[in-house]
C-alpha cells in the first residue's frame, strides 16, 4: 500500500479506480463463474473495502489487480461452501480455469455485452442488463432512463441474470452471424451509457466517465466488426457530441444550449474524425439509425461555416430517423425542427399526441414543448411546460438556464 498525502485525495483515487475497473472485473469474473449475480456479489465486498479503507491505509499499487484477486477468492470460497446455487459443472470449471481470461476479444467487457444481448434474454432487459453489468450503472438510474419504476427494473435485471445462469449461456465470443444478430442491442446499450453520462454533464477530464467509456467500447466494436456501418455511425455520433463539450458551459459554469454555443470552442480534430467515420459508414450503402443521428450532428457542425442551420436537411433526416426507431427523442426533435420551419401549431399537436406515460417524467419533452409553444405564440403553454421541466431537472446549471427561459417567456407574455 502507498498512502497518499491527503485522505480526501486517497478516497477519490480509490473511488475512481473502483469505478473504472468495475465493468472489466465483472466481465472477467462472470466469464469464469457463468453467473453475473454471483460475480457482482463477489466483487461488492472488495469494492466496499477499497472505498472505506482507502483513506486509512492508502491505495494498492495496482488497484485493479487487488480487486480482482480479492473477488476471485471470495467467488471460489462461495463455490466451495455451496453458497452459489448452480450445477456442479460450472463450479468445476471455475476451479479449473486459469486466472487469466484470455479470449479473442480485446476487452472482456465486449464479451459480456454480447452475452447480455443473447436472444434467450428478454429484449426489454438486454440494454438495462448491459448498463448495469458492464458499465456499473445502478438500477435506479437505469429505471429513470427507461421511464419505469426502480422496483420493476430491479426485478427485470434479476430475472435476466437468472436466465443467463440457468440456461448455461456460453461466455464466449459468438459466431459472426450471432455477432451481427446481437449488434443492435449492444450499440443501444453503449449509446444509452453515453447519454446517461452526457445528461449528467460529467467531468470531461475523467477517463473513467461514462461518455469516454462508451466511446472506448464503440472503438472496440468498430475494430471487431469493421465491415459493419452502424458501429461507425454510433462512434461518429458520440464524437460529434463530445467535440462540443468545452462549449456546453460558459466561464461561470452556466449551461449553454447548442444554438448559443461559441463554436470556436468546438474541437475541430474530433469533428474531422467523426466526418471521416460517417463517410466510411456511408460507403456500405446500408443506412441505419446511428448513421442518421450522426448525419444530424454533421448538419449542426456545418453552421459555423455556412452561417445558418440547414433546417430542410434536418427535417429530411428526422423523417428518416423516426422510420428507424420508435424512440420518443426522435419525434420530439422532429417536432422542434418542424416548428422552427414555421409549422409550430402542427408540431405542438404532434407533441401532445405522444403517449402520456412515455413523456410524463421526460424532462427534454417539456423543454421542447416550451420552445414549440413559444413559436406557436402560446406563452401560457410555454410557461407551464417550463414549470414541468424545472420540476424534473436536477442539474443546477440547467435549472438556472430554464429559469432564465421562463423569465423571458413571462416578459413576452406581459408585452403581448
Q: Average pLDDT of each block of 10 consecutive residues along the chain (416 residues)? A: 50 58 67 66 65 54 70 67 44 38 58 83 84 76 77 85 76 73 90 82 56 88 92 97 92 90 94 96 94 97 90 96 90 97 96 93 95 95 96 91 90 69
d(CA 211, CA 69): 28
Q: What is the pLDDT of residue 92?
A: 37
Nearest one of 21, 40, 325 to 160, comparing CA atoms? 40
d(CA 372, CA 357): 20
| Matching CATH number, 326-416, of 1.25.40.850, 1.25.40.10, 3.20.20.190, 3.40.50.2020 | 1.25.40.10
Cβ proximity of 239 and 273 under 8 Å: yes
One-character DSSP codes across 267-285: -HHHHHHHHHHHHHHHTTT
Cβ proximity of 4 and 13 under 8 Å: yes
Q: Considering the entire predicted model, what is its pTM?
A: 0.73
The CA-CA-CA angle for residues 266, 268, 273, to 5°, reads 125
d(CA 262, CA 248): 9
Q: What is the pLDDT of residue 123?
A: 84
Residue 371: φ, ψ to 5°: -65, -45
Q: What is the pLDDT of residue 237?
A: 97
Q: What is the pLDDT of residue 264?
A: 93
Q: What is the pLDDT of residue 79?
A: 59
d(CA 290, CA 278): 10
d(CA 230, CA 268): 23
Helices (H), ranges, 62-147: 63-81, 88-96, 108-116, 123-133, 139-145
Per-residue buried b or exposed e for 88-100, using 16+ beta carbons within 10 Å of the residue's own CB: eebbeebeeeeee
Ranges for all domains in the chain classified under CATH 1.25.40.10:
326-416
Amino acid at each position: 500500500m502507498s498512502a497518499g498525502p491527503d485522505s480526501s485525495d486517497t478516497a477519490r483515487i480509490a473511488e475512481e479506480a473502483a469505478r473504472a475497473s468495475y465493468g472489466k472485473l465483472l466481465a472477467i469474473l462472470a466469464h469464469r463463474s457463468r453467473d453475473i449475480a454471483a460475480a457482482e456479489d463477489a466483487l461488492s465486498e472488495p469494492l466496499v473495502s477499497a472505498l472505506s479503507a482507502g483513506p486509512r491505509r492508502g491505495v494498492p499499487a495496482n488497484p485493479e489487480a487487488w480487486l480482482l484477486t480479492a473477488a476471485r477468492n471470495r467467488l471460489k470460497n462461495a463455490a466451495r461452501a455451496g453458497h452459489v446455487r448452480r450445477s456442479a459443472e460450472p463450479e468445476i470449471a471455475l476451479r479449473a480455469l486459469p486466472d487469466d481470461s484470455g479470449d479473442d476479444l480485446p476487452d472482456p467487457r465486449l464479451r459480456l455485452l454480447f452475452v447480455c444481448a443473447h436472444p434467450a434474454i428478454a429484449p426489454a432487459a438486454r440494454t438495462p442488463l448491459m448498463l448495469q453489468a458492464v458499465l456499473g450503472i445502478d438500477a435506479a438510474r437505469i429505471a429513470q432512463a427507461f421511464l419505469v419504476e426502480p422496483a420493476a427494473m430491479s426485478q427485470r435485471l434479476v430475472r435476466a441474470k437468472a436466465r443467463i445462469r440457468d440456461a448455461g449461456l456460453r461466455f464466449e465470443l459468438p459466431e459472426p452471424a450471432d455477432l451481427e444478430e446481437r449488434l443492435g442491442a449492444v450499440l443501444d446499450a453503449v449509446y444509452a451509457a453515453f447519454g446517461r453520462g452526457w445528461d449528467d454533464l460529467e467531468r470531461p477530464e475523467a477517463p473513467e466517465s461514462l461518455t469516454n467509456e462508451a466511446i472506448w467500447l464503440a472503438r472496440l466494436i468498430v475494430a471487431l466488426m469493421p465491415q459493419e456501418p452502424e458501429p461507425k455511425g454510433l462512434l461518429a455520433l458520440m464524437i460529434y457530441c463530445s467535440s462540443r463539450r468545452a462549449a456546453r458551459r460558459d466561464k461561470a459554469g452556466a449551461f449553454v444550449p447548442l444554438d448559443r454555443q461559441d463554436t470556436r470552442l468546438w474541437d475541430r480534430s474530433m469533428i474531422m474524425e467523426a466526418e471521416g467515420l460517417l463517410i466510411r459508414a456511408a460507403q456500405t450503402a446500408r443506412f441505419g439509425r446511428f448513421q442518421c443521428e450522426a448525419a444530424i450532428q454533421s448538419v449542426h457542425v456545418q453552421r459555423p461555416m455556412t452561417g445558418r442551420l440547414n433546417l430542410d436537411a434536418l427535417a429530411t433526416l428526422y423523417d428518416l430517423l423516426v422510420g428507424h426507431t420508435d424512440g420518443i427523442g426522435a419525434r420530439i426533435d422532429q417536432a422542434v425542427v418542424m416548428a422552427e420551419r414555421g409549422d409550430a401549431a402542427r408540431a405542438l399537436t404532434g407533441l401532445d399526441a405522444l403517449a402520456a406515460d412515455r413523456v410524463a417524467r421526460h424532462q427534454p419533452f417539456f423543454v421542447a414543448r416550451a420552445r414549440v409553444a413559444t413559436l406557436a405564440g402560446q406563452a401560457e403553454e410555454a410557461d407551464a411546460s417550463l414549470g414541468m421541466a424545472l420540476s424534473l431537472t436536477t442539474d443546477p446549471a440547467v435549472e438556472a438556464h430554464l429559469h432564465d427561459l421562463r423569465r423571458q417567456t413571462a416578459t413576452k407574455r406581459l408585452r403581448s
